[in-house]
Amino acid sequence: MNFKPTAPLSGFIELTPQQQRVFDECARRVAETLKTAGFAHLDLPTIERAEVLTDEENWDEIETQMYLFQKGDTKMGLRYDGTVGLARFVAGRANDLTFPFRAYQFAKNFRGERPKRGRYREFYQIDMDILGINTLSANYDAEIVAVLSKAYESCKEFIGKTQIKVGSRPFWNAMFDYLGLDAQQAREVFVLIDKKDKIGNEFIPAVYQVAGDKVDEICAVFTNGYQSFMGKTDALNAAIYELENFMYRLNIMGIQNAVIDLGIMRGHAYYTGLVFEVFLEKFPELECVGGGGRYENLTGKFGKAKIMGVGAAIGFSRMMVTLLDEGKIDLSDFKEAVDVGVLVMSDECVGLAMKVIAELRDNSIVAVPFLDIDKKFRVQMEFANKINCKFSIIIGEDEVKNNFLTLRNMKTGEQGKITLDDAVKLLIKTK
């Protein structure tokens, strides 16, 4: 007989229960950080109309990274990030929302890209956005970066410290104007700066091929610093002031892990202002594990209202799954997910066992019963050890007859008789 494969498709994630507990705990901490900052949780559809996901009229020719399909006459696709769904939601409900509107999403996204380390076809991403109609203060840029920093910090025992690198689209736009580059040259240099670290020594020759002798001033941004261009043009002055004002506000908010790096460009075309990316200090090989920036018109293709905002995304699966799979997160504190294993010696003991289990769970004590009453006591104890429970409650004929329980500490082996009420009190104290 030919058995069907048990491995998941390439690029799709499966975690062990222990790994999943770490993943869930970090997700809970991040969500709590965002809720404390007043972000509303949105759970938007996984499937969107194809026309919502793309501007292309012929969806059969869309880049193969999208999962697209058709039911009846309706062309649909799986979301590839949270931004498009958010734009549709806000445009359709603008009259019902209070602006500035802030929301976060913790959702699965799907991309048909080639799987590799840290890149998956199905993955969780945490998106957070602050949106305004027609106007949105630059102060919100600093706030969302501060919240993003705190979100990562909530998981620092697992991922370590982070560094946030801040770039500026307005600075480079002003710089290209100052240098007299045309639109095509500006686009090409923009791409080269975005790839600067990857292409290494080829950066300067590549920029020279596009911008000629202007390469010296472009490289001076990295060697002499952006402040050396203060006073060149009003636009450059404004961009430099924006950067320094942004860093000043972050400092006031207690954020010390952000630095200016004008090599950060963020490739998405919709970014129009400051942009930023997040890196793990302990695991630089993971490269960027999150980022975002300001955009000027999120909902332009859905309606006339001009909704702008600043957003960020945490590459949650990229970060957590890679670290978990490579054994870089200590799982030892997550072995004991069960407080009590309830071991039942005979059919006559099941009634009391059910009463005990209900009482334990009513007091938020995680209780797992072993109800195969035909199994020997040795087998039941092996089960209790395998599920890593802290205690076991043994219920036999004596326990039923005398209305008590036998409580065993699975680490020390000590055990004794105890009432159900006292067992609950003790277990609550040891949680």
The structural domains of the chain, ordered by start, are 17-325 (3.30.930.10), 337-429 (3.40.50.800)
**Could you tell me which residues are beta bridge partners of residue 122?**
110
pLDDT for residue 266 is more than 90 = no
Q: What is the value of pTM for the model shown?
A: 0.90
pLDDT for residue 342 is more than 90 = yes
pLDDT at residue 275, rounded to an integer: 96
H/E stretch holding 369? strand 367-370
User: What region, left, alpha or beta, does residue 254 occupy, with left being phi > 0 and alpha being psi -120 to 50 degrees?
Assistant: left
pLDDT digit string, tens, across residues 5-35? 999 999 999 999 999 999 999 999 999 999 9
Of 86-95, 283-292, 301-310, 392-401, which gets the smallest average pLDDT? 301-310
How far is it, in rounded angstroms, from Cα 195 to Cα 211?
16
pLDDT at residue 238, rounded to an integer: 97
Backbone torsions φ then ψ of 18, nearest 5 degrees:
-65, -45
How far is it, in rounded angstroms, from Cα 106 to Cα 119?
17
The residue-averaged pLDDT of 266-284 equals: 89
The residue-averaged pLDDT of 364-383 equals: 95
The residue-averaged pLDDT of 283-303 equals: 90
pLDDT for residue 62 is more than 80 = no
pLDDT at residue 357, rounded to an integer: 97
pLDDT at residue 61, rounded to an integer: 43
CB 287 within 8 A of CB 117: no
How far is it, in rounded angstroms, from Cα 190 to Cα 277?
16
CB 322 within 8 A of CB 280: no
Total Cβ atoms within 10 A of residue 228: 13
The residue-averaged pLDDT of 219-240 equals: 94
CB 290 within 8 A of CB 313: yes
Ranges of H-type helices in 306-419: 316-325, 350-362, 377-386, 397-402
pLDDT at residue 55, rounded to an integer: 67
How far is it, in rounded angstroms, from Cα 20 to Cα 321?
9
How long is the chain?
431
H/E stretch holding 92? helix 83-93
How far is it, in rounded angstroms, from Cα 9 to Cα 83?
26
Total Cβ atoms within 10 A of residue 187: 13
Output the average pLDDT for the chain: 92
pLDDT for residue 60 is more than 60 = no
How far is it, in rounded angstroms, from Cα 27 to Cα 103?
16
CB 177 within 8 A of CB 190: no
How far is it, in rounded angstroms, from Cα 247 to Cα 34?
21
Of 157-161, 277-281, 297-301, 305-309, which gets the smallest average pLDDT? 297-301
For the CA atoms of 238, 240, 242, 248, the dihedral, rounded to the nearest 10 degrees, stands at -140
The residue-averaged pLDDT of 217-221 equals: 93
pLDDT for residue 335 is more than 80 = no
The residue-averaged pLDDT of 31-60 equals: 86
Q: Give the three-state DSSP class for 273.
A: strand
pLDDT for residue 302 is more than 90 = no
pLDDT at residue 233, rounded to an integer: 96
Nearest by Cα to 87 from 53, 110, 63, 59: 53
Name, in order, each residue with C-beta under 8 angstroms of 354's C-beta and a sequence gap of 6 or more: none
pLDDT for residue 234 is more than 70 = yes
pLDDT at residue 64, rounded to an integer: 61
pLDDT for residue 57 is more than 70 = no
Q: Give the three-state DSSP class for 295.
A: strand
pLDDT at residue 336, rounded to an integer: 75
Q: Which two tokens stand for residue 311?
A: 């957003």
Nearest by Cα to 150 from 318, 20, 38: 38
pLDDT at residue 56, rounded to an integer: 58
pLDDT for residue 58 is more than 60 = no
pLDDT digit string, tens, across residues 88-134? 999 999 999 999 999 999 999 999 888 888 889 999 999 999 999 99
Distances in Å between the alpha carbon of 28 and those of 219, 336, 364? Answer: 43, 18, 18
pLDDT for residue 268 is more than 80 = no
CA 204, 205, 211, 216 dihedral sign is positive
Percentage of residues in the chain having pLDDT higher than 90: 80
DSSP string for residues in 189-203: HHHHHHTHHHHGGGH
Fill in the DSSP letter of residue 332.
G
pLDDT digit string, tens, across residues 395-431? 999 999 999 999 999 999 999 999 999 999 999 998 8
Q: Which two tokens stand for residue 222?
A: 């990295």
